[in-house]
Amino acid sequence: MLTIYSEDHRLHHGAAELYRGRLVPCFEMPARAEQVLDRVKAAGLGAVVAPDPLDRAALARVHAEDYLAFLETAWDEWQALGETGDALPYAWPATGLRRDVPPEHIDGKLGFYSIDAAVPITAGTWRAITSSAACALTGARQIVEGAASAFALCRPPGHHAGARAMGGFCYLNNAAIAAQYLRDNGAGRVAILDVDYHHGNGTQSIFYDRGDVFFASLHGDPAVEYPFFLGHADERGEGDGLGANRNFPLPWGTSGADYLSALDAALADIAAFAPDMVVVSLGVDTFAEDPISHFKLHGPDFAEIGRRVAGLGRRTLFVMEGGYAVADIGANVAHVLTGFAGA
Ligand code: 6XA
Ligand code: ZN
């Protein structure tokens, strides 16, 4: 299995995030991707290659042009204020406020194009997020060209990013961009399986009214877990997409065994959808020792996830999402991928 990786991710290194009322160092840090790279190499999974040059048009198949323009220019606008630290949003057009008049000031734009404050924009953010998306697109190209699987070692992650919104460490929705690329290049039907601990609200919203891309997600119940405002079991899609969205909210403390039962249900739905190709949003923040999550999965559970996904018998692109137990993130990702490859 080919791994696609770019060192550009290091250019994005947010200083701090708000966590339980305090500013703390960002959980989403460069060391995460370095650890994954090390362990994937050690596992002998296959070659590690650099991404193809980015085709910006592929981003615009998923994200609105005004949002892309915002991401590209946000740092310069922020710097023009004389600021040198990270740009962060602090005001949002929530209930009762207007969304129909886009703000002109960068402080307003940051809130207009985000769902929370966990999205620092730094000098290197645009380079890092476009390289991350390029990794996903290169993996998707491999799949289209016939590879049985590929691993896009994306950082920053993507699944909380919507068509016009960043959030939860995510700016460009790498999995959605890859899924759309697969649709545009030969796959009639694509399924996205999101096994990150958090609901993939961005991916769900991007495909919610479409019947050609199935989205299934297992995650901490939004009643008690970020992103709080999407990811409930009754969200089944709308219009042409009715029936093509499936959420499995699970309680804090969910064990490996209970998780794998829910995974089987998600995989049965995906098999019934009969996708041509599969994208897996691969977060390993379901790990028992993850510092911000509350499931109880261990190494063997991750290998089992890989094995069961392989049971679908479809060409599969893995796209890196979350996981913050930095010392273990690489081993857990490698377990999933070797579980898949050895199945
Ligand atoms: C914000 C929590 C963001 C969760 C990020 C994540 N304090 N998403 O891992 O998958
Ligand atoms: Zn997560």
pLDDT digits (tens, 9 = 90+) for 216-273: 999 999 999 999 999 999 999 999 999 999 999 999 999 999 999 999 999 999 999 9
User: How high is the pLDDT of residue 16?
Assistant: 94
CA distance 24 to 237: 37
Q: What is the mean pLDDT of residues 184-205?
A: 98
pLDDT per residue as tens digits for the range 26-73: 999 999 999 999 999 999 999 999 999 999 999 999 999 999 999 999
Q: Is the pLDDT of residue 183 over 90?
A: yes
Q: pLDDT-derived band of residue 339, with 50, 70 and 90 as boundaries?
A: very high
How far is residue 240's CA from residue 223's CA, in Å, rounded to a whole number? 27
Query: What one-character-per-residue DSSP string does 120-150 give?
Result: -B-TTHHHHHHHHHHHHHHHHHHHHTT-SEE
111-156 pLDDT tens trace: 999 999 999 999 999 999 999 999 999 999 999 999 999 999 999 9
What pLDDT sits at residue 234?
Answer: 98
Mutate to test the pocket of ligand 1, among 173, 285, 293 (most ligand atoms within 8 A of CB): 285
Which ligand has an atom closest to residue 156 CA?
A: 1
pLDDT in tens, 78-107: 999 999 999 999 999 999 999 999 999 999
pLDDT of the residue at 139? 98
343 pLDDT exceeds 80? no
pLDDT at 89: 97
**Where do the DSSP E strands lie in the chain?**
2-4, 16-19, 22-25, 48-49, 149-152, 190-194, 213-220, 245-250, 277-282, 315-320
Mean pLDDT of the chain: 98
Atom of ligand 1 nearest to the CA of 283: 10
Q: What is the pTM of this model?
A: 0.98
Query: Which residues does ligand 1 sit against, CB inside 6 Å?
Result: 118, 160, 168-169, 196, 198, 226, 283, 285, 321-322
pLDDT above 80 (res 75): yes
Q: For 187-197, what is each residue's pLDDT tens digit? A: 999 999 999 99
